[in-house]
A and B are shown apart, each in its own frame.
Chain A
Amino acid sequence: MANSTTLTTGKQNIWGGGKSPFSVSYGKLMMWIFLLSDAFTFSSLLTAYGFIRYSFPSSQPNEIVKPMSHLSDQFVEEMQHAGLFSAEHWPLPELVFNHFPFLHGIHLPLFFVSLMTFVLIFSSVTMVLAVEAGHRMAKKEVANYMVLTILGGAAFLGCQAWEWTQFITEGATLHGNPFGPTAFAALFFIVTGFHGFHVFSGVVLNIIIYINVLAGTYEKRGHYEMVEKVGLYWHFVDLVWVFVFTFFYLI
């Protein structure tokens, strides 16, 4: 008797309707499914990158341009003459992404993109701290951490806008660039653009959540689960950046 009771309760808990088999709410489960499909989209883009990247040999420099050394205005032309930037070779990322705002004329390879990575990781931390504060129903803390997260996202977008501007100023377009094969810049714009669009959507969602927190919507609802759901999306954007960073700047 006791046994059958447990079984029935167990059944009700698992499949009896109104409760999720995974012990998460409907909204969270759907967010996970969406993120899985989005992961497939990004995977196909990054795999396309890997495919094209792998079909080109890397350019092999005779000597390494030292970080912090002087960066002349004709750097791209010099690299082209040296044969390091050519349509037959995939360019080395440290020779392409070597600019930093306000530090014109210094060779700072990958410094700026590393900074962008830290900004995004940090905004992920403030997001998860907002979720944690939400568990404690600490409205003020949630609001403060949401502001920090929004600022982090906006800072990242600003950095990306600057990087794109620099890249375009040097002559990169979707159908040609002075650094290497056409696909090099095209893939850069498409993949970082698609990721940037995700960051932008995330910032918009975060702002909506922030307004709702201030309005006391979640306080009235009794839980801050919406912060968790949008948090999942925001961490996913950070997760994708880890791979965009690895593939575009390190490999």
Chain B
Amino acid sequence: MEQSEHLEHTETPSNMKQQIWKTFWILFALTIIDIGLYFMLLSTHSMLKNYLFIALGIVKAFYIVAIFMHMKFERKWLVNFIVYPMLFVVFLVILMLIEGDFTGLVR
């Protein structure tokens, strides 16, 4: 029973190994780009730079979750079930950035 249930959902593609290494090189390159950008933009201080780094972080997160955590091959509602609650975090971040700005003004 356990075994058949397990085998049933293995929708892992046959070229998984290839995909794993491809993902590794993507993550490697993105981290290099991160560090490179950091040094290139050392003298710039804008919020835009921060958004750029966060966007790169989200791209890296996407690859880790999709390939390494196998999310790309799971049922659609499992994906929704995990991703939708994260919208609360987006809400919290927006809220706290507004608050942080205000705290800076009154300090």
Contacts and interface: CB of A to CB of B under 8 A. Distances in A.
Interface of A: 18-19, 21-25, 29, 32, 35-36, 39-40, 43-44, 47-48, 50-58, 60, 64, 67, 94, 109-110, 114, 117-118, 121-122, 124-125, 127-129, 131-132, 135, 221-223, 225, 228, 231-232, 235-236, 238-239, 242-243, 245-246, 250-251
B102 to A, nearest CB: 8
Contacts of B21: 125
- Which of A64, A109, A121 has its CB near the most chain B CB atoms (within 10 A)? A121
Contacts of B35: 110, 114
A22 B104 contact: no
A238 B97 CA distance: 25
Contact of A251 (B50, B65, B75, B93): B50
A250 B12 contact: no
Interface in B38-92: 38-39, 42-43, 45, 50, 53-54, 56-57, 60-61, 64-65, 67-70, 74-75, 77-78, 81-82, 85-86, 88-89, 92
Nearest to B92: A47
A131 B12 CA distance: 11
Interface residues of B, number: 59
Contacts of B75: 22-24
A29 B8 CA distance: 15
The secondary-structure label for the interface of chain A is: helix
Nearest to B20: A128
Given A51-B103, A114-B35, A225-B6, A22 B74 contact: yes
Given A47-B89, A246-B54, A251-B53, A132 B100 contact: no
B9 A135 contact: no
B12 A135 contact: yes
A55 B10 CA distance: 48
A50 B16 contact: no
